[in-house]
Amino acid sequence: MFCKDDSLTYLNHLGYNVISLPRENVEPLLIIGGKKKKLEILGPLSHFVEESASVPPIKYDQTAGKITSKRTSKLDSRLGMDLMNKYLSAMGAASGKLNAGYEKAVQIEIVFENVLSDSVFITAIDDYLSSAKPKTNTLLMECINEEGEAHIITETIKSNSFGVIAYNSSQQVLDLDVKGIQSLFGGTGGIKVSKDETAKVSYQGNKFLKFGFKAASFWVEEDVQGKAHFRLKMDSDNLVMKGAGGEKPRQEVLLAQNELIDLDSW
């Protein structure tokens, strides 16, 4: 959803990789592979193990207070509108409808709203993998048999709402016509438009879209007896980031620092 700016740096500092186009089907315990900005969803963890105990439980819909209300930098209106339209399209609205409501905007800020997280404790994943038996008779094993080739998602962040603050050429906040903007959607996508006392216009949809995730390195290796085992590693060379706001260092793997990630299905 967001370009290279202060908000992207902030999310990286919290340990999150940021997805270029938010989507619904990104969950903890998915295995992803590929190179830096271009990653693919290989499948859920359960597809990589022989029959065993249930995978660790996911904790859903936790409040992400450190992210809610954070703003992007002031973006050029063309770039900002492109991002907004992509997000609204992912929510189900007709693409490109929003442009007419922002003709006077020169710059815009996008505000994170109603951000929730879904996660699995990394200790629970580690315990599970310690006893799980890798399914070695699958083509997918070729994608995870070396360190750094694949990663397991441990947490996702999601939202069904974002706010927009628009500025004119004099850097004054534009007081936009909410009813006019709402009419642009023609009822598509169930998008609700509202405005607060600061002239921030908010767009809320029916879908929660995942726009960021944390991950740990995940692979399979053989011991000296030739028996396959899962390995899990959270830090990865120079990709470990220091926590935001002077907090203790975090150990999440950043796959593309200060850049958006394309995440596709395999």
The secondary structure of residue 72, as a DSSP letter, is P
Count of Cβ atoms closer than 10 Å to residue 249 Cβ: 9
In a domain, 1, yes or no: no
Give the domain extent around 204.
Answer: 6-265
For residues 124 and 108, what is the distance between their CA atoms, to the nearest angstrom?
41
How many Cβ atoms from other residues are within 10 Å of residue 180's Cβ? 11
Maximum pairwise Cα distance, the chain? 71
Joined tokens for residue 18: 């940021």
Q: Which residues of 54-70 are buried (b: 16+ CB within 10 A; e: fewer)?
A: ebbeeeeeeebeebbeb
Residue 50 domain-assigned (yes or no) = yes
Phi, psi of 75 (to 5 degrees): -100, 145
How many structural domains is the chain composed of?
1
pLDDT of 247? 47
What pLDDT score was predicted for residue 236? 45
Q: Regarding beta strands 150-167 and 107-119, do their DSSP bridges make them parallel or antiparallel, or are they unpaired?
A: antiparallel
Evaluate whether 263 touches 5 at the Cβ level (below 8 Å): no
Are residues 258 and 241 in contact, defined by beta-carbon separation less than 8 angstroms? Answer: no
- Mean pLDDT split into 10-residue runs, the chain, 266 residues: 74 91 93 82 92 86 95 91 87 76 93 96 93 87 88 96 95 94 78 94 94 94 88 61 44 83 79
**The two structure tokens encoding residue 29:** 């315990």
Cβ-count burial of 103 within 10 angstroms (0-12 exposed, 13-18 middle, 19+ buried)?
exposed
Give the integer Cα–Cα distance in Å for 54 and 160.
30
Query: What per-residue confidence (pLDDT) applies to 244?
Result: 43
